[in-house]
């Protein structure tokens, strides 16, 4: 069985969830999976030639409200070693970004009532991607973080020209806590301008460049500055703020990678070949999506019926393992998510806030096993 066959039912379900949305952000990014020291056939070099592993490049669909909808596509590959001339053979790796946009464009054709927006970080700032989108007629919008301060047809530099104009206004938001960085308030001044980008073939691609620069950051903290490119036109601050907010949703794919690596611990897999590893990763990508979805909906939709995301035996198991009597009717989602996380080490103290993905994953393993035991016990009684 190919890994794509494993993901096929999930792809179909993801498309149905997307069909109910007005806008879906299709976030792409790449992560490296380190299997150094393991005898897995087919692996290749990573950042250093001595490292062994593979690369994973998924398309992760979320709503603008950050609700994970599923994994739409994935690209897995192992690099070939560099030749004696220092050149690495094989397909140019940047191709994955352009091909990724094409897959999103194909999905857009099947979902005419849903606006799909391709969102990616600096590495995707490739003219070939923008040209391909233009050739296809922009069936899906694109929103990229600008990496190259391109020279414009008039001779000036892209970022300098945009910030030389009048700002469209200021935005305010709270930057969530990450690792050792506490949450903090951010204020940014925003510029937006429609520009013509040379396509290296004598033509131009029309795009909007947005620069969002932090104003008065805390002492000792590096100011946050984002430079974005999009095919969408921006007429005012509201339109610019919307695109900036959509770009900020890119963090959801980083969370997905965190679940995959630190929750599911896929880098600890010990399998004989690349093909087996791909099949395992396909399964764990669905698991990682479910955990991220539970965490997000448990926070944003706490009163949702838990029966919509858990089987009856699963939510009952969460109560029983916490030595609580299960209710007769389906409980609130937030209550069940917290109980599951408590089984994974979440202390649920007054100041602890909501559980994270790691404790949910660890607790979910116990819940699923116990739920399977409940079903087996009923079969024995029958």
In this structure, the number of other CB atoms found within 10 A of the CB of residue 110 comes to: 11
Render pLDDT for 297-351 as a digit per residue (tens, 0 to 9). Answer: 999 999 999 999 999 999 999 999 999 999 999 999 999 999 999 999 999 998 8
Render pLDDT for 65-75 as a digit per residue (tens, 0 to 9). Answer: 999 999 999 99
Render pLDDT for 32-67 as a digit per residue (tens, 0 to 9). Answer: 999 998 888 999 999 888 899 999 999 999 999 999
H or E segment and range at residue 278: helix 274-300
Render pLDDT for 275-288 as a digit per residue (tens, 0 to 9). Answer: 999 999 999 999 99
For the chain, the domains span 144-240, 301-381
Query: Does the structure show a pLDDT above 80 at 178?
Result: no
Q: What percent of the chain has pLDDT over 70?
A: 99
Read off the pTM.
0.92
* pLDDT of the residue at 49: 85
**Phi, psi (5° rounding) for residue 167?**
-60, 150
The residue whose two tokens read 């070949």 is: 273
- CA dist 354 and 363 (Å) reads 14
CATH class of this structure's domain 301-381: mainly alpha
* pLDDT of the residue at 53: 94
Q: Share the mean pLDDT of the chain.
A: 94
* Residue in 233, 12, 235, 25 with CA at minimum distance from that of residue 114: 25
Mean pLDDT, range 178-184, rounded to an integer: 78
* Residue in 59, 76, 214 with CA at minimum distance from that of residue 142: 59
* pLDDT of the residue at 92: 85
Query: Does the structure show a pLDDT above 80 at 180?
Result: no
Query: Does the structure show a pLDDT above 80 at 363?
Result: yes
- CA dist 311 and 272 (Å) reads 34
């Amino acid at each position: 069985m190919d890994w794509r066959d494993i993901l096929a039912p999930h792809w179909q379900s993801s498309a149905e969830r997307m069909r109910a949305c007005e806008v879906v952000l299709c976030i792409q990014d790449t992560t490296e999976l380190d299997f150094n020291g393991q005898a897995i056939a087919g692996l290749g070099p990573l950042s250093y030639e001595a490292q062994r592993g593979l690369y994973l490049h998924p398309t992760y669909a979320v709503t603008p409200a950050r609700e994970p909808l599923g994994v739409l596509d994935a690209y897995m590959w192992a690099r070939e070693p560099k030749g004696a001339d220092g050149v690495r053979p094989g397909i140019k790796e940047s191709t994955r970004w352009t091909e990724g946009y094409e897959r999103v464009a194909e999905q857009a054709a099947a979902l005419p009532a849903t606006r799909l927006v391709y969102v990616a970080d600096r590495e995707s700032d490739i003219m070939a991607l923008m040209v391909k989108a233009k050739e296809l007629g922009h069936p899906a919008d694109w929103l990229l973080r600008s990496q190259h301060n391109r020279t414009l047809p008039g001779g000036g530099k892209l970022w300098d020209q945009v910030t030389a104009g009048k700002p469209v206004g200021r935005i305010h938001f709270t930057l969530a806590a990450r690792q050792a960085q506490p949450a903090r308030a951010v204020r940014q001044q925003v510029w937006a301008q429609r520009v013509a980008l040379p396509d290296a073939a004598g033509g131009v691609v029309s795009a909007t460049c947005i620069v969002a620069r932090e104003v008065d950051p805390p002492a000792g903290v590096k100011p946050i500055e984002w430079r974005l490119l999009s095919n969408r036109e921006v007429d005012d601050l509201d339109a610019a703020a919307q695109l900036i907010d959509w770009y900020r949703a890119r963090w959801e794919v980083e969370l997905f990678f965190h679940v995959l690596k630190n929750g599911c611990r896929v880098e600890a897999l010990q399998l004989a070949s690349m093909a087996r590893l791909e099949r395992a990763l396909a399964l764990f990508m669905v698991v990682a999506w479910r955990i991220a979805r539970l965490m997000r909906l448990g926070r944003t939709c706490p009163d949702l019926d838990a029966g919509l995301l858990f089987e009856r035996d699963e939510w009952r198991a969460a109560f029983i393992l916490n030595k609580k009597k299960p209710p007769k009717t389906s409980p609130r989602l937030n209550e069940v998510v917290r109980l599951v996380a408590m089984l994974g080490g979440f202390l649920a103290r007054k100041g602890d806030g909501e559980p994270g993905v790691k404790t949910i994953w660890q607790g979910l393993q116990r819940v699923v096993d116990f739920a399977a035991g409940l079903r087996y016990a009923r079969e024995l009684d029958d």
